[in-house]
A and B are shown apart, each in its own frame.
Chain A
Amino acid sequence: MEDKARTLRSRWWLSLIIALSIVPPMVIGSFWIQVLTEILILGMFAISFNLIFGLMGQISFGQGAYYALGAYTTALMLTKTSMAFPLCMVAPIVVSGICALIFGFFIVRLTGIYFAILSLAFAQLVHSVIFQWYDFTGGDNGIQGIPSPILLKNPFWNYYFTLVIVSAALIVMWFITKSSFGYTMRAIRDNSNRTGFVGVNVRKHMLINFAIAGMFAGLGGSLWAVFNHSVSPDLANWTHSGVPIFMTIIGGPSYFLGPLVGSIIYTLLFVFVTPFTEYWPLIIGTLIIFIVLFFSGGIVGTLELKIRPE
Chain B
Amino acid sequence: METPYKEMASVPILEVRELKKSFNGFEAISNLSYKLDPGELSAIIGPNGAGKTTLFNLVTGFHKVDSGTIFFKGKDITGLPLHVISRLGIARAFQVSNIYPTLTTYENVRQAIISQQGKTLNFYTPASRLAISQTVEILESCGVAAQANVLAGRLSQGDKKRLELAIALGTKPDLLLLDEPTAGMSGEETKEIMELVQRLNQEKYLTILFTEHDMSVVFGYARRLTVLHQGTMIADGTPEEVRINERVQTVYLGGEV
Residues of A in contact with B (beta carbons under 8 Å apart): 1, 175-176, 178-184, 186-187, 189-191, 193-202, 205, 208
Asked whether, in the complex, the Cβ of A201 is within 8 Å of the Cβ of B60, the reply is: no
- Known: A179-B125, A180-B114, A200-B120; 10 extra A-B contacts, CB below 8 A, are A175-B126, A176-B124, A181-B120, A187-B103, A191-B101, A196-B82, A197-B83, A198-B91, A198-B115, A198-B167
Q: Give the Cβ gap from A126 to chain B, nearest Cβ, in Å.
A: 26
B107 at interface by CB-CB < 8 Å: yes
Give the size category of B's interface with A: 35 or more
B128 at interface by CB-CB < 8 Å: yes
Asked whether, in the complex, the Cβ of A184 is within 8 Å of the Cβ of B115, the reply is: yes
Residues of B in contact with A (beta carbons under 8 Å apart): 60, 62, 81-83, 86-87, 91-92, 94, 98-104, 106-107, 110-112, 114-116, 118-128, 130, 149, 167, 170-171
A194–B167 alpha-carbon span in the complex (Å): 9
Nearest A residue to B130 by beta-carbon distance? Answer: A180
Asked whether, in the complex, the Cβ of B112 is within 8 Å of the Cβ of A198, the reply is: yes
Nearest A residue to B98 by beta-carbon distance? Answer: A194
Pick from B62, B81, B86, B127: contact of A183, CB under 8 Å: B127
**Which residues on the B side are within 8 Å of A175 (C-beta)?**
123-124, 126
Pick from B91, B94, B120: contact of A180, CB under 8 Å: B120
Q: A1-B128, A178-B127 are in contact. Are A199 and B98 (CB under 8 A)?
A: no
Q: 21 A-B pairs, CB-CB below 8 angstroms?
A: A175-B123, A181-B120, A181-B121, A183-B103, A183-B111, A183-B114, A184-B114, A186-B102, A187-B115, A190-B101, A193-B98, A194-B94, A194-B99, A194-B100, A195-B111, A195-B115, A197-B91, A198-B171, A199-B86, A200-B115, A200-B120
A190–B101 alpha-carbon span in the complex (Å): 7
**Which residues on the B side are within 8 Å of A200 (C-beta)?**
83, 115, 120
Nearest B residue to A189 by beta-carbon distance? Answer: B102
Q: Give the Cβ gap from A203 to chain B, nearest Cβ, in Å.
A: 10
Asked whether, in the complex, the Cβ of A199 is within 8 Å of the Cβ of B115, the reply is: yes
Identify whether the interface residues of A are mostly helix, strand, loop, or mixed.
Answer: helix
Asked whether, in the complex, the Cβ of A176 is within 8 Å of the Cβ of B107, the reply is: no
Nearest B residue to A208 by beta-carbon distance? Answer: B121
Q: Give the Cβ gap from B209 to chain A, nearest Cβ, in Å.
A: 15
Asked whether, in the complex, the Cβ of B171 is within 8 Å of the Cβ of A190, the reply is: no
Q: Which of B99, B106, B107, B120 has the most chain A CB within a 10 Å cutoff?
A: B120
A184–B115 alpha-carbon span in the complex (Å): 8
Q: Give the Cβ gap from A51 to chain B, nearest Cβ, in Å.
A: 12
Asked whether, in the complex, the Cβ of A197 is within 8 Å of the Cβ of B120, the reply is: no
Q: A191-B98, A194-B99 are in contact. Are A181 and B122 (CB under 8 A)?
A: yes
**Which residues on the A side are within 8 Å of B130 (C-beta)?**
180
Q: Give the Cβ gap from A47 to chain B, nearest Cβ, in Å.
A: 16
Pick from B83, B107, B126: contact of A179, CB under 8 Å: B126
A96–B102 alpha-carbon span in the complex (Å): 31
**Which residues on the A side are within 8 Å of B101 (C-beta)?**
190-191
**Which residues on the A side are within 8 Å of B100 (C-beta)?**
186-187, 190-191, 194
A182–B119 alpha-carbon span in the complex (Å): 11
Q: A193-B98, A197-B60, A201-B83 are in contact. Are A179 and B127 (CB under 8 A)?
A: yes
Nearest A residue to B126 by beta-carbon distance? Answer: A178
**Which residues on the B side are within 8 Å of A198 (C-beta)?**
86, 91, 111-112, 115-116, 167, 170-171
A175–B101 alpha-carbon span in the complex (Å): 23
A105–B116 alpha-carbon span in the complex (Å): 24
A176–B91 alpha-carbon span in the complex (Å): 28
A196–B149 alpha-carbon span in the complex (Å): 24
A182–B128 alpha-carbon span in the complex (Å): 11
Q: Give the Cβ gap from B132 to chain A, nearest Cβ, in Å.
A: 12
A175–B128 alpha-carbon span in the complex (Å): 12
**Which residues on the B side are within 8 Å of A176 (C-beta)?**
123-124
A208–B102 alpha-carbon span in the complex (Å): 22
A191–B127 alpha-carbon span in the complex (Å): 19
Q: Which of B92, B127, B170 has the most chain A CB within a 10 Å cutoff?
A: B127
**Which residues on the A side are within 8 Å of B60 (C-beta)?**
197
Pick from A181, A193, A197, A199: contact of B123, CB under 8 Å: A181
A208–B122 alpha-carbon span in the complex (Å): 12
A178–B171 alpha-carbon span in the complex (Å): 21
**Which residues on the B side are within 8 Å of A182 (C-beta)?**
127
A202–B115 alpha-carbon span in the complex (Å): 11
Q: Which of B60, B115, B125, B167 has the most chain A CB within a 10 Å cutoff?
A: B115
Q: Which of A196, A200, A202 has the most chain B CB within a 10 Å cutoff?
A: A200
Q: Give the Cβ gap from B125 to chain A, nearest Cβ, in Å.
A: 6
Asked whether, in the complex, the Cβ of A197 is within 8 Å of the Cβ of B92, the reply is: yes
Pick from A180, A191, A196: contact of B83, CB under 8 Å: A196
**Which residues on the B side are within 8 Å of A179 (C-beta)?**
122-127
